[in-house]
Amino acid sequence: MADWDTELSAFLQPFLDKLGHKKRRQICPLYVSGLIGPGDRKSIEPMAERFAPGQYDRLHHFISDGLWDAAPLEAELARQADRIVGASSAFLVIDDTGLPKKGDHSVGVAPQ
């Protein structure tokens, strides 16, 4: 396992514990790896080809049909953000405007 795989697994573990179902816990790391890993196309099919060959249906189901209670995941996210930021007077600002847009039909391409 590469260093980033180990670090991603450690980061995701508290969230995976909140997902409940075994199949969700297996597919979630593949999906997250697809989103943050190499490759320009971040839709389900190319991510499945890169990170979960032969598991397109499972990855698609995880995103489109998977229903779970988001509250435990949101609570864990708040705990992890608090742990990372580290102080009661600190702020965590997440700004995705630095991500480059591609293509002629992507929302927001023209203004950038």
Please report the DSSP string for 38-92 in residue order. S-S--SHHHHHHHHSTT-HHHHHHHHHT----SHHHHHHHHHHHHHHH-STT---
What is residue 102's predicted lDDT score, i.e. its pLDDT? 65
What tens digit of pLDDT does each residue of 52-65 get?
888 889 888 888 87
Residue ranges per domain, the chain? 3-85
Per residue of the chain (112 residues), give pLDDT as tens. 568 888 988 999 999 989 878 888 888 898 898 888 888 888 889 888 888 888 889 888 888 876 778 899 999 998 888 888 877 788 777 776 666 666 666 666 655 4
Give the total residue count for the chain. 112
Amino acid at 44: I
